[in-house]
């Protein structure tokens, strides 16, 4: 099979060279507005990597990743709000004044620390995912029931956050663009340029991390759980532990993604926990290529970029295009765009329209490890 | 007298009032090869479900290596040394033959170890050895889903052996195999007995005869008769409930 894996790594290498070239070129080519959009979409690629791990590899379709995404965003926003609350009455963020709150709610306290914040951005969502996941997986809830349950959990979180004006400014959310960090306004051009770099580096690190997880037998067990969970159990593995771990990792990645997205879009609000947004995350992965980590990144970045370009040109049409794209992928390219390219889709397409010849193969051709053909 | 490896004591399983197993007793000693036959619905698969922890019996006890298995999780029972092959081949179709076997031979089976440790040379040798037993060396890197039905059955048996269980429960290993493959499977199972204890469930009388081992006949959730194949075939009760039927069908 080595000829195929060589081809796969060749495709991967090409795509990576292009991505890195684009990332390096982007800050000097793009205006800040566009650069900021690209930075946001790169941060969304991190949550997409998590979705790919739990859905593409492990087969658990979570429609509730928005929970973890928003939690990461709130952690970052709470720190930023506190960091620039000095000049406001009582030394607490401004919005509290609107609701007559004079004392900082207790859970805000630790977010005065930057180190606590940097850890909690990924650890808090991971812990929530761990608890939620363990309870669900222990009871062997899977398939469509798992999807419905995660969506229900999302709605619970959404409604809770929406209603808590006195704690986290409820439906208005927490603004970050007018807060201060390192003596600079977070929404300023120079900070946004920095956040772009941070997002770009973290996407690549997150990819390496995800790659490392699925590289060997751990990843194979995840695929095994997707294909035949009972077999995994009778082979002596406890699927509950593996599912809980991977769901927690996806939660942690979603948290990092949410924090980066928040600082680049200037606000975190319960809108991050709406149902359509969490479903969109799944669409990015489906279009990019389930079970191909790179596909998740490409799907998230390109679909969102297309969304902003299309919405500028034809404001009402994006939902139709997105729906059409999803239907196209599900029916014609079930393995996503990258999965299709890796499976020789381009050559097959060229053949269909008559521009290429079929490869000649011998029916019972077998290839050994060294790539030598055996009869 | 040594203590038996596996002992089923008066096992009853009731599915909403329907008794799938009724006071089933069975004893297997270390190194035994045992065949279990019985008409459809006799409770053959339920009986494996009980041993492997998939079904909790309403009544009775399962003793394995002097320890009760009742209420234990499936993966723990598997780690204690009970391996199971399912009726239709169940392998990880999207993994290669080699990867399938690597998961079977890996130890310890904890997430951390899978992530950090590399397979040892011993394990790699074991994988090569298993592939040579079932004749799949040339398919080492081919995804298991692309194998033929017979090769899938063998891969699953090889995975089972890779787990190095004391007790192998084999459910209809020759369903859908050619005669030649059936003979090879019978020889394979016979060679495994001795080191392992093997329990085979099947319909195929030729295959059971070839195993040349004690047979238990299951009927309506109960052991009707135990004995060698020739004894079983002469027993009027067995003929009535099972062999008679299958002869008519033929």
How far apart CA B191 and CA A250 sit, in angstroms, is 46
Question: What is the model's pLDDT at position A360?
Answer: 56
Residue with tokens 């349950």: A149
Query: Is the CB of B106 less than 8 angstroms away from the CB of A217?
Result: yes
Banded pLDDT at A367 (limits 50, 70, 90): low
Strands in A196-303 per DSSP E: 267-268
Query: Is the CB of B141 less than 8 angstroms away from the CB of A1?
Result: yes
Question: What is the model's pLDDT at position A129?
Answer: 95
Quick check: B104 contacting A, CB < 8 Å? Answer: yes
β-pairing, A267-268 with A174-175?
A: antiparallel
Q: How far, CA to CA in Å, does A322 sit from each of A36, A186, A280, A281, A341?
A: 22, 32, 9, 12, 21
How far apart CA B38 and CA B209 sit, in angstroms, is 14
Work out the minimum CA distance from A252 to partner chain B, whole angstroms: 18
Query: Does pLDDT of A236 surpass 80?
Result: yes
- Average the pLDDT over each of A45-54, A237-246, A269-278, A364-373 and give the range with the smallest value: A364-373
Question: What is the model's pLDDT at position A323?
Answer: 87
At residue A366, φ and ψ (nearest 5 deg) are -125, 145
Of A231, A242, A374, the CB nearest to B92: A231
Candidates A57, A236, A244: best to mutate against B (most CBs of B within 10 A) is: A236
Question: What is the model's pLDDT at position B209?
Answer: 85
How far apart CA A112 and CA A89 sit, in angstroms, is 17
Quick check: B87 contacting A, CB < 8 Å? Answer: no
Quick check: B74 contacting A, CB < 8 Å? Answer: yes
Question: What is the model's pLDDT at position A355?
Answer: 67
Question: What is the model's pLDDT at position A199?
Answer: 93
Chain A nearest-CA residue for B48: A234
Question: What is the model's pLDDT at position B244?
Answer: 57
For residue B99, the chain A residues in CB contact (below 8 A) are 217, 220
- Average the pLDDT over each of A3-17, A77-91, B109-123 and give the range with the smallest value: A3-17
Of B114, B142, B159, the CB nearest to A217: B114
- pLDDT tens per residue, range A46-64: 999 999 999 999 999 999 9
Question: What is the model's pLDDT at position B248?
Answer: 44
Residue A92: closest CA among A160, A167, A143: A167
Query: Is the CB of A236 less than 8 angstroms away from the CB of B99?
Result: no
Q: How many CB atoms lie within 10 A of CB A369?
A: 12
> Which secondary-structure segment (H or E) carries A42?
helix A32-51
Work out the minimum CA distance from A226 to partner chain B, whole angstroms: 9
How far apart CA B126 and CA B122 sit, in angstroms, is 6
Work out the minimum CA distance from B40 to partner chain A, whole angstroms: 23
Q: How far, CA to CA in Å, does A225 sit from each of A59, A60, A70, B188, B219?
A: 7, 9, 28, 29, 35
Burial bucket for residue A88 (CB in 10 Å: 0-12, 13-18, 19+): middle
Burial bucket for residue B225 (CB in 10 Å: 0-12, 13-18, 19+): middle
For residue B106, the chain A residues in CB contact (below 8 A) are 217
Quick check: B69 contacting A, CB < 8 Å? Answer: no
Quick check: B93 contacting A, CB < 8 Å? Answer: yes
- pLDDT tens per residue, range A134-146: 999 998 888 899 9
Residue with tokens 């000049």: A87
A219-240 per-residue burial string, b: 16 or more CB within 10 A, e: under 16: bbbbbbbbbbbebbbbbbbbbb
A141-150 per-residue burial string, b: 16 or more CB within 10 A, e: under 16: ebeeebbebb
Q: Name residues whose C-beta falls within 8 Å of residue B142's C-beta, 6 or more positions apart in sequence.
A: A1, B96, B97
Residue with tokens 């269909």: A352
Chain A nearest-CA residue for B82: A234
Q: Name residues whose C-beta falls within 8 Å of residue A186's C-beta, 6 or more positions apart in sequence.
A: A80, A176, A177, A178, A179, A180, A263, A266
The two structure tokens encoding residue B32: 């035994």
At residue B3, φ and ψ (nearest 5 deg) are -75, 145
Query: Is the CB of A227 less than 8 angstroms away from the CB of B103?
Result: no
Q: How many CB atoms lie within 10 A of CB A167?
A: 15
- pLDDT tens per residue, range A158-213: 999 998 888 888 888 888 887 778 877 777 888 888 899 999 999 999 999 999 99
Residue with tokens 């060396």: B137
Q: How far, CA to CA in Å, does A3 sit from each of A36, A366, A368, B141?
A: 40, 12, 10, 12
Q: How far is CA A363 from the centre of its chain?
A: 42
Query: Does pLDDT of A3 surpass 50?
Result: no
Question: What is the model's pLDDT at position A361?
Answer: 56
Candidates A217, A245, A335: best to mutate against B (most CBs of B within 10 A) is: A217
Query: Is the CB of B75 less than 8 angstroms away from the CB of A233?
Result: yes
For residue A140, the chain B residues in CB contact (below 8 A) are none
The two structure tokens encoding residue A89: 């009455």
Quick check: B136 contacting A, CB < 8 Å? Answer: no
- Threshold 0.90, pTM exceeds: no
> Which secondary-structure segment (H or E) carries B96?
none
Cα-Cα-Cα-Cα torsion B104, B109, B114, B116, nearest 10 degrees, comes to -140
- 3-class DSSP assignment, residue B169: strand
The two structure tokens encoding residue A63: 């429609």
Question: What is the model's pLDDT at position A124?
Answer: 95
Work out the minimum CA distance from B31 to partner chain A, whole angstroms: 21
Q: How many CB atoms lie within 10 A of CB A307?
A: 17
Chain A nearest-CA residue for B113: A218
The residues on A that touch B, with CB distances below 8 Å, are 1-2, 213, 216-218, 220-221, 223-224, 226-228, 230-231, 233-239, 241-242, 245, 366, 368-369, 374
Query: Is the CB of B111 less than 8 angstroms away from the CB of A227?
Result: no
| B146-152 long-range Cβ contacts below 8 angstroms, 24+ apart | B147/B97, B149/B89, B149/B176, B149/B177, B150/B176, B150/B177, B150/B178, B150/B181, B152/B89, B152/B91
For residue A226, the chain B residues in CB contact (below 8 A) are 94
Peptide linkage before B225 cis (omega within 30 of 0):
no
ipTM of the complex: 0.84
For residue A235, the chain B residues in CB contact (below 8 A) are 78, 103-104, 109, 159, 163
Low-confidence ranges of chain B (pLDDT < 50): 247-250
Candidates B50, B52, B69, B74: best to mutate against A (most CBs of A within 10 A) is: B74
How far apart CA A272 and CA A251 sit, in angstroms, is 14
Q: Are A252 and A125 in contact (CB under 8 A)?
A: yes
Query: Is the CB of A221 less than 8 angstroms away from the CB of B78?
Result: no
Q: How far, CA to CA in Å, does B250 sit from each of A341, B173, B245, B246?
A: 52, 21, 9, 6
The radius of gyration of chain A's CA atoms, rounded to the nearest angstrom, is 22
Query: Is the CB of A220 less than 8 angstroms away from the CB of B91?
Result: no
Chain B nearest-CA residue for A373: B138
Chain B nearest-CA residue for A219: B115
Question: What is the model's pLDDT at position A77?
Answer: 92
How far apart CA B21 and CA B34 sit, in angstroms, is 19
């Amino acid at each position: 099979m080595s000829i195929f894996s060589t081809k796969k790594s060749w495709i991967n290498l090409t795509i990576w060279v292009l991505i890195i070239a684009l990332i390096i070129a982007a800050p000097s080519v793009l205006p800040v507005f566009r650069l900021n959009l690209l930075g946001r979409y790169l941060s969304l690629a991190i949550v997409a990597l998590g979705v790919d791990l739990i859905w593409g590899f492990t087969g658990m379709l979570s429609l509730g990743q928005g929970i973890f995404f928003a939690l990461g965003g709130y952690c970052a926003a709470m720190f930023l709000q506190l960091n620039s609350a000095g000049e406001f009455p009582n030394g607490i963020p401004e919005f509290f004044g609107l609701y007559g709150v004079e004392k900082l709610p207790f859970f805000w306290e630790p977010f005065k620390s930057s180190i606590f914040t940097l850890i909690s951005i990924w650890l808090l969502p991971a812990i929530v995912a761990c608890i939620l996941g363990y309870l669900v997986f222990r009871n062997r809830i899977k398939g469509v029931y798992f999807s419905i349950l995660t969506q229900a959990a999302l709605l619970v979180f959404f409604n809770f956050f929406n209603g808590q004006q006195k704690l986290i400014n409820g439906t208005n959310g927490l603004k970050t663009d007018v807060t201060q960090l390192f003596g600079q306004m977070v929404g300023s051009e120079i900070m946004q340029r920095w956040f772009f770099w941070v997002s770009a580096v973290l996407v690549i690190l997150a990819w390496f991390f995800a790659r490392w997880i699925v590289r060997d037998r751990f990843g194979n067990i995840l695929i095994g759980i997707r294909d035949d969970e009972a077999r995994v159990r009778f082979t002596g593995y406890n699927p509950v532990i593996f599912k809980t771990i991977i769901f927690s990792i996806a939660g942690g990645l979603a948290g990092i993604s949410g924090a980066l997205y928040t600082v680049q879009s200037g606000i975190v609000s319960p809108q991050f926990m709406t149902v359509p947004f969490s479903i969109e995350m799944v669409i990015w992965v489906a279009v990019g290529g389930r079970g191909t980590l790179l596909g998740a990144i490409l799907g998230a970045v390109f679909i969102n970029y297309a969304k902003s370009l299309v919405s500028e040109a034809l404001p009402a049409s994006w939902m139709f295009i997105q729906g059409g794209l999803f239907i196209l992928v599900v029916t014609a390219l079930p393995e996503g765009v990258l999965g299709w390219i890796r499976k020789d889709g381009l050559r097959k397409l060229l053949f269909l329209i008559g521009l290429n010849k079929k490869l000649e193969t011998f029916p019972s051709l077998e290839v050994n490890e060294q790539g030598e053909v055996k009869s | 007298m040594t203590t038996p490896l596996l002992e089923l004591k008066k096992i009853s399983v009731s599915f909403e009032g329907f008794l799938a197993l009724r006071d089933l007793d069975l004893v297997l000693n270390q190194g035994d090869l045992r065949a279990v036959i019985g008409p459809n619905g006799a409770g053959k698969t339920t009986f494996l479900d009980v041993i492997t922890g998939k079904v909790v019996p309403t009544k009775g006890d399962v003793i394995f290596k002097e320890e009760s298995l009742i209420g234990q999780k499936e993966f723990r029972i598997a780690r204690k040394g009970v391996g199971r092959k399912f009726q239709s081949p169940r392998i990880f179709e999207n993994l290669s033959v080699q990867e399938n076997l690597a998961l079977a031979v890996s130890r310890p089976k904890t997430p951390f170890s899978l992530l950090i440790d590399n397979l040892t040379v011993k394990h790699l040798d074991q994988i090569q050895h298993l592939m040579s037993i079932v004749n799949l060396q040339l398919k080492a890197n081919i995804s298991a889903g692309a194998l033929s039905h017979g090769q899938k059955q063998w891969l699953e048996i090889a995975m089972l052996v890779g787990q190095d269980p004391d007790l192998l429960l084999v459910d209809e290993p020759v369903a859908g195999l050619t005669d030649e493959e059936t003979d090879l499977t019978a020889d394979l199972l016979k060679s495994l007995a001795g080191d392992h204890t093997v329990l085979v469930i099947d319909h195929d009388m030729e295959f059971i005869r070839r195993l040349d081992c004690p047979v238990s006949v299951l009927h309506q959730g109960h052991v009707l008769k135990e004995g060698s194949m020739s004894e079983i075939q002469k027993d009027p009760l067995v003929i009535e409930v099972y062999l008679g039927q299958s002869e008519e069908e033929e």
